[in-house]
Amino acid sequence: MASITLKGNPIHTNGELPKVGQKPPDFLLAANDLSEVSLGAYKGKKKILSVFPSLDTPVCALSVRRFNQEAAKLDGVVVLNISADLPFAQKRFCAAEGIENAPALSCFRASFAKDYGLQIVDGPLRGLCSRAVLVLDRDNTVVYVEQVPEIAQEPDYAKALAAAKK
C-alpha cells in the first residue's frame, strides 16, 4: 500500500506499483470507440503509461497535454494516458485539446487500477487511480516507475522521457 497525499492530506492505494525489472500485468482498457485495448496492441514499442485520477482536474489535463507534446518527438514510443474517465469524456477532451500523439484509455470497466496497485482506497478520490508513471521497454519490462507522492503534483516528465529514450 502506497501512502500519498491529496493537497497535503494522507490517502492510500490498494498496493504497490510493479517494480523495475518486472513485467506488469496485461490489461484490457477501453479506447475512445469502446473497443478493448491490451498491452499487445503496442507490441514492439516502448510505452509510457501516464496514469491519473481524472481529465477533469487541472494537473491531470496539464500532464496529458505535456506528454502529448513530448510524444510527438519520440520514435518508437507511445504514451498511454490512463484514467477512470469514461471513453466519451476522454474523446471530447482529446478533440478539444488536439491530443493526437498520446491515446487516452479508460479503466472504468477493468481491474487495471487494482492490478497495478494504483487504486485509491480512501479519501474523496476513493476508487480512482493515483497519479503514476511507468515506462515499459519493447518487451513490456518495467524500466522506470514513479508513484507521484502528491496527487496535485505533476510527474517528473524528464525522468520518464529519459527512461523511454534508452
Residue 72 has pLDDT above 80, yes or no: no
Spell out the domain ranges in the chain. 3-165
Tell me the C-alpha distance between 118 and 83, whole Å: 11
pLDDT tens per residue, range 94-148? 999 888 888 999 999 999 999 999 999 999 999 999 999 999 999 999 999 999 9
**Can you tell me the mean pLDDT for 55-81?**
88
**Can you tell me the mean pLDDT for 20-39?**
96
pLDDT band for position 70 (cuts 50, 70, 90): confident
pLDDT tens per residue, range 49-60? 999 999 998 888
Residue 62 has pLDDT above 90, yes or no: no
Cell of 56: 477533469
Cell of 1: 500500500
Supply the residues annotated as catalytic: 60
pLDDT band for position 152 (cuts 50, 70, 90): very high
Query: What is the CB-side half-sphere exposure of residue 112 using CA atoms within 13 A?
Result: 28
CATH number, domain 3-165? 3.40.30.10
The predicted structure's pLDDT at residue 159? 96
Tell me the C-alpha distance between 39 and 112, whole Å: 12
Under a CB-based contact definition with an 8 Å cutoff, are residues 159 and 146 in contact? Answer: yes
Tell me the C-alpha distance between 113 and 94, whole Å: 22
The residues that bridge with 105 in the sheet, in sequence order, are 82
**Can you tell me the mean pLDDT for 13-33?**
96
